[in-house]
Amino acid sequence: MSDTAPHFIDSTKTDAQATLEQATDFAKQGAETIETTANDFSNRASDALQSGTAAASDTGKRALSSLVDINKTITDAYSQSVSEMNALAQQAFQVRTAKDLIAFQSDVLTQFQRNLAAAATLYSTIWQTATQSVTAATDRVQETTDNLRQAA
């Protein structure tokens, strides 16, 4: 019995040492997995932040470009309207006959129709540029959300 005790103790020591080595390996693998996952998450979060920043910048550029387009449309319409209204004012002072009055009224109506068309063009430009800006921003938000969802 005394021969089995040292053998049993040696066997137990060996088993304990193997178990300790396995536990150490398992802990190292777990730590590596946690580190890899944390780094991956950090990289994806950084990418999402950069993408979000780029999206905000792009949206701002589009909005500025849109404002320039809207301003140009307003300026063009205003300049044309002022010019045509000046011509109508001069024409009003030259009305002498009923025929002149009918021609003047026709020209005023034509000018009114042009102003309505210019207003419609302005509305269309505003709507189109707003839609483009919102669509681009929405697409980027969706892309970023999808990327984060895949990372999770």
pLDDT tens digit string along 111-143?
999 989 988 988 888 888 888 877 877 887 788
pTM exceeds 0.85 for this model: no
Largest CA distance in the chain: 141
- On whether the CB atoms of residues 76 and 88 are closer than 8 A, the answer is no
CA distance 142 to 152: 15
CA distance 98 to 103: 9
Question: What size, in residues, is the chain?
Answer: 152
